[in-house]
Chain A
Amino acid sequence: MDFGLKDKVALVTGAGSPIGFGRATVLTLAKEGCDIIANDINGEEAEQAAAEVRALGRRAIAVKADVTKSAEVNDMVKKGLAEFGKIDILVNNAGHAFGHGPFAEQDEDDWDKDINLNLKAAMLCSKAVLPNMLERNWGKIINISSGAAKRGGPFVEAYGAAKSGVGGFTKSLAISVAAQGINVNCIAPAIAVTNFIGGKMTPGVERMIEEIPQKRATVPQDVANMVAFLASDVSSHVVGQMYSVDGGSTVTS
């Protein structure tokens, strides 16, 4: 199916990790014809992502930025607009769970880090790109939530709260801008063997996979495919939804 994404410009945060959702997303969008602004806090890896996009024949720039800092976010968006003249698609993919161990022993700092990266960053980036989208009455914002938003998990209180927050943010922003031609949706993946879990399969993760109806972990391509669908006009009637891409692991919630 033609997704009609040729010559669209997509900003993807957290696109650096070679084994992450963001990297698969930029490559998939590039294959569909998008030019890419590849963001990461790790500048070198962002450059690698941009180079891989260019190897596919699309334009790309890498922007190193900490998406929890509004000055860096605004600067990133300025650079993107200077290079491409527009931003059609924003994928708020950067995320991580910092808090570990029993809740009572977690630091307040862990809480702030989780909320800032997983929730506040989505707000900052959306705010920064929206004026350009509103000017043109066309835009797609795709937030990455998590199965943790739906069913929770041990020791990820702040992360779960942030990812639930992403769901709520998605709904309200979606309602605010739907009539202006902008779609806002989010995706809730299951566990995946990315940097999120140290990039390695562990016995704990194997047990989690055993409980998934499909008996497999989410792979970055699963998420990238859903992003491409939601970024296209093929799904233009989908508004404010949280799509689980998780092999059925949250059908109970």
Chain B
Amino acid sequence: MAKHGGWAGKVLRVDLSTGRISTEDTIEKYKDFLGGTGIGYKVIWDEVPIGTKPFDPANKVVFGVGPLAGTGAPCNGRTAVTTLWPTCWPKPLVASGHMGGHFAAELKYAGFDAIIIEGRADRPVWLQVADGKVEIKDARRLWGQGIRRTTVEINQQMGPEASVAAIGQAGENLVPMSVVMNSYSHSAGGIGGVMGSKNLKAIGVRGTGSVRIAGNKGEWEKVVKLHLSLLGSVNQHVVPNSPQPWAEYYGVTRWVGSRGRKWGAAEPSIETGECDPRNLNRISYRTNNAVFFLGEKAWQYTVRGNGCTSCPIRCHTMLKVPAVSSKYGIPAVGQNTCAGLILGRDFFKAFPDGPMGQTAIEACMVGMHLADDLGIWENYGQMQRDFKELYYNGTIKNKVGENEFKSYSWDKYEKGDPSFLFELLTRIADKEGELATALGLGTGYHLERWGIPEQEWQKDQKVAYWKMGHPKHHSNEDAGQCGVIINTQYNRDAQCHSHVNFTRNGLPIEVQKRLAAEIWGSSDAVDALAAYTPMNISKAKMAKWSLLRKELHDSLSLCNWMGPWIASPLKERDYRGDDSIESLLYSLATGDKKSREELDKVAERIFLLHRALTIRYMETKEMRAQHDTVPDWVFTDPASKASFTQGTNRMDKEDIKLAMDMYYEEMGWDKKTGSPTAAAYRKLGLGNVADELAKRGLLP
């Protein structure tokens, strides 16, 4: 191990059935898979038998972090949690949830690169990991508590610096739509019930160690500084959303900091200032996700930005809304980002004062208060879209018994009264009644339970459902065919931001095209928004690159919500980022020198293992027909505009077939089945995987 930096060197294994705690050498067993999802997929491949269900003791949960976690590399706070996914329909397949916060760094400082949880405890327990010392502790006193109380109690025992990843009542009650959450607002969806099935309430980690940087320290500092200089705001939007003295470009982006804009609830209030990108000490002032999602009014309630270890972006906005204390009896302060921030608002169709008014903000506060304590997952807004659709089309009334239906205050709901959320969310966590139980299953199982064919959801653009129980996540609306390809590849929503963090970065289309040509070989890789052109090979290259960067980030612990960093706010660089930043950081941190291309090959190995796992658990090689499917709504337009005309995201069926052909070819997979060939596996060092799939008749 002495040879390598970056990794802590040990993977922790905890068998909750037997109480056995052991460790493995990270380098020996997992180096070829880096960390994060890489370790997760490897463990599931090696150890979890076909036919295992998510809540079976035989399922495993892998909390994996990467060699860059806990270093000074920017945006390194991600923990990937990999398991058999309880909301993947019609059968559970492998997937991962991702949480930021401080868990990843603490785990490294405590001496571990991953924790593999297996078996099932015979009583509620929590796991204490402190500087290499691991104990399974009694959690009976914590069981039944929300995430906040659990976190406080464990922090009281371990100290305030400990990071606590806990489940709420939803996870305990085996609600599939549930999260594990650390640092009060950083959650990984889909994991709560799996932990609950193992009687594992929480993991507390605390470390006082450090991560060794193998390379030259001066070089390391230089690369970290380069990386910082390339950062934009949240989601790597590299231009501000209003004209600023230093800026050549401006746009409708998430870079909202500007002269005169203030965090109004800070005491005293703080002006964000102009955030000139050359001033690295002002990066944190660029982003205010509450303002982006809730409107200008949110400035007055902003206390500050919050976020993950070593990330200056601070995408979690801390809000203080005094009115919610007296109106709803909840704390005035809450924080979250993106979908978590707007969870409460998204249940409603309308509010008395509009979608950006005070009531909508209050709905967000109530939503965060409840969901982040009960540990409810909203599946990138799918739960709320399902709920609205099923209520307003009359299905809920028809499917739920009369008494139960009457027990909800629908008048409040229709008026946009946030207090309605107290009725709904608490019942989801407790599986109380038909409606709450069904919503808690996740879309696929919910539709099946209520006899609604999945195809109905796949026709409806506004429901934004993709397949297998999950929604679209940055598909054709953000990157045309590239977005479509990406959304076909996972067993849950794609969670890939490599493509959208480029296409939405705010730069003019001609600048984007120039940068695209440098990375994907042609300016035709990208189109202007809603002005898509037919498929070409550079779009397939962009899709492959996007997927591999996602897996790379998930395995290194870099944040794919913030990266990659191929564009920058710097005019002096002609707005170029650096496509090699990951390999530069990896090589210096670990001492394992790898070029960009070599590291991408490792990412491809990890992604291929995910593909192999999907094939093995689906027990078919017919991926193109049975897995990589595209919902019908992608081929429609609300105003019946034709594909490839301005003003529509509508895709063309034949063109998407071509897109998949080109993508499979780019990956070196069989075009007919969409499955990787034996040669594709072997080329990436996965000969054993090819052999097993061959035995099962699962190679093309």
Asked if A pairs with B, the answer is no
